[in-house]
């Protein structure tokens, strides 16, 4: 594969080249990994287009697909003013949708395919939807998604939506990839907050309470106001202007509140750019991923000989009680440093 040629085609907004490149970054083959790293680095050198990267987390049933479909259609439809993107267009924004789904091997959603779930958006020429790969290792998923985001940015997309079902650690992965991390919630049954973990709340730049329509409208409004209160109780972060993080009620189905939500996202982004927080966040994220990859690289020694065999051998002695875990670990590490 000619990586140089592929890079040029991506910059020229060739959709097929983009799709091929994402397939490349998804591959686990060592030579593909080499090429993917080279490609992303080439593109970093040649383009400086920045999309707004929007991370979107929501458990199954909150209407994530419907939201992305409606929100994406609005953005691509040319009806929205662009206050703050490098590329501005009267003809609508170019929107890419990526999914981080560590459970994709199990869930029905991804097997049916994300395109089926977003029927209108998938036929929209300014949109690009990439179904989640059936990979389960979260480390691999994180790198693949970061690289796919970089490819979409190089291909000139204005908005990159990175979607995840809120399970396990995937929210952290998505938050560490996004400029804006958004939590999509459904109206709560009673007047209690849903079981959103505090850590997740603290990562959110905005909370959108979906389904503010029909019978659920009142519940959505109440839930929204509950979360507004909860967000106000959190410690003020330097990267937030007054009034953020905020909770907003929307209806993806009735297409209500979406324009207002997008306005909020834009004004938050504009404020952060102006005050240097936008670049600071991206720089911190890059360092985070650098650090994570070096850590993974160090731990990868466990899956290779000679350490793999040593671990099995000494691990059996540890299990049998012939040696304490600490002493065994000390011996293994000493052997490693001698080698």
Residues that bind a copy of itself (CB under 8 A): 37, 40-41, 44, 143, 146-147, 150, 192, 195, 282-284, 286-287, 289-295, 297-299, 301-302, 311, 314-315, 318-321, 323-330, 332-333
What dihedral angle (degrees, nearest 10) is formed by the CA atoms of 8, 14, 20, 26?
80
> CA 290 to CA 171: how far, in whole Å?
19
Shortest spacing between CB 140 and a copy of itself, in angstroms = 12
Q: Considering the complex, what minimum distance in angstroms separates the CB of residue 151 from a copy of itself? A: 12
Residue 42 to residues 13, 53, 174, 200, 262, Cα–Cα distance (Å):
15, 20, 24, 34, 32
**Other Cβ atoms closer than 10 A to 129:** 22
**Is the CB of 267 or the CB of 285 nearer to a copy of itself?**
285
Q: Min. distance of Cβ 22 from a copy of itself in angstroms?
A: 15
Q: Which residues neighbour 292 within 8 Å (Cβ) at sequence distance 6 or greater?
A: 139, 142
DSSP element (H, E) containing 53: strand 52-57
Min dist CB 174 to a copy of itself, Å, is 16
- Min separation Cβ 298 and a copy of itself, Å: 5
Based on CB atoms, which residue is closest to a copy of itself, 275 or 330?
330
H-type alpha helices, 82-137 = 108-112, 114-117, 119-122
**At 209, is the secondary structure helix, strand, or coil?**
strand
User: Please, what is the Cα angle at 101 between 97 and 103, to 5 degrees?
Assistant: 155
Shortest distance in whole angstroms from residue 163 CB to a copy of itself: 22
Rg, C-alpha atoms of the chain: 22
* Residue whose CB is less far from a copy of itself, 117 or 146: 146
Nearer CB in complex with a copy of itself: 136/290: 290
CB 181, CB 203: distance < 8 Å: yes
If the CB atoms of residues 68 and 203 are measured against a copy of itself, the closer one turns out to be 203
Provide, rounded to whole angstroms, the least separation between the CB of residue 278 and a copy of itself. 13
- For the chain, where are the alpha helices, taking DSSP H only? 3-11, 15-26, 30-46, 64-76, 108-112, 114-117, 119-122, 138-154, 170-175, 198-203, 217-233, 258-274, 277-299, 307-319, 325-338
Nearer to a copy of itself by C-beta: 262 or 278? 278
- Compare residues 78 and 199 and give the one whose CB is closer to a copy of itself: 199
The smaller minimum CB distance to a copy of itself, of residues 12 and 294, is found at 294
In whole angstroms, how close is the CB of 320 to a copy of itself at the nearest point?
7
Which DSSP letter does residue 78 get?
T
| Residue closer to a copy of itself (CB basis): 125 or 297 | 297
CB of 139 to a copy of itself, least distance (A): 12
Phi, psi of 54 (to 5 degrees): -110, 115
Q: Please, what is the Cα angle at 165 between 161 and 169, to 5 degrees?
A: 100
């Amino acid at each position: 594969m000619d990586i140089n040629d592929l890079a040029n085609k991506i910059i020229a907004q060739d959709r097929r080249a983009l799709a091929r490149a994402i397939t490349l970054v998804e591959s686990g083959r060592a030579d593909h990994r080499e090429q993917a790293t080279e490609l992303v680095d080439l593109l970093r050198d040649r383009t400086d287009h920045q999309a707004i990267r929007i991370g979107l987390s929501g458990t199954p049933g909150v209407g994530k697909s419907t939201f992305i479909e409606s929100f994406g259609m609005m953005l691509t439809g040319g009806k929205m003013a662009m206050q703050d993107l490098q590329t501005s267009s009267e003809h609508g924004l170019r929107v890419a949708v990526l999914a981080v789904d560590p459970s994709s091997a199990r869930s029905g959603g991804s097997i049916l395919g994300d395109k089926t779930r977003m029927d209108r958006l998938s036929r929209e020429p300014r949109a690009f939807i990439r179904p989640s790969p059936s990979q389960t290792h979260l480390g691999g998923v994180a790198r693949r998604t970061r690289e796919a985001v970089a490819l979409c940015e190089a291909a000139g997309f204005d908005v990159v939506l990175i979607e995840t079902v809120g399970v396990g650690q995937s929210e952290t992965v998505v938050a560490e990839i996004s400029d804006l991390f958004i939590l999509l919630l459904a109206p709560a049954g009673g007047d209690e907050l849903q079981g959103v973990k505090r850590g997740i709340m603290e990562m959110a730049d905005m909370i959108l309470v979906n389904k503010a329509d029909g019978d659920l409208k009142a519940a959505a409004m109440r839930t929204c106001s509950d979360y507004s209160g909860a967000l106000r109780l959190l410690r003020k972060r330097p990267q937030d202007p007054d009034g953020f993080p905020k909770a907003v009620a929307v209806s993806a189905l009735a297409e209500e509140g979406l324009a207002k939500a997008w306005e909020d996202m834009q004004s938050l982004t504009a404020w952060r750019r102006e005050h240097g927080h936008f670049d600071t966040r991206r720089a911190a994220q890059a360092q985070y991923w650098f650090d994570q990859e070096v850590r993974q690289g160090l731990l990868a020694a466990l899956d290779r000989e000679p350490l793999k065999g040593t671990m099995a051998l000494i691990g059996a002695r540890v299990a049998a009680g012939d040696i304490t875990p600490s002493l065994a670990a000390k011996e293994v590490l000493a052997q490693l440093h001698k080698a």
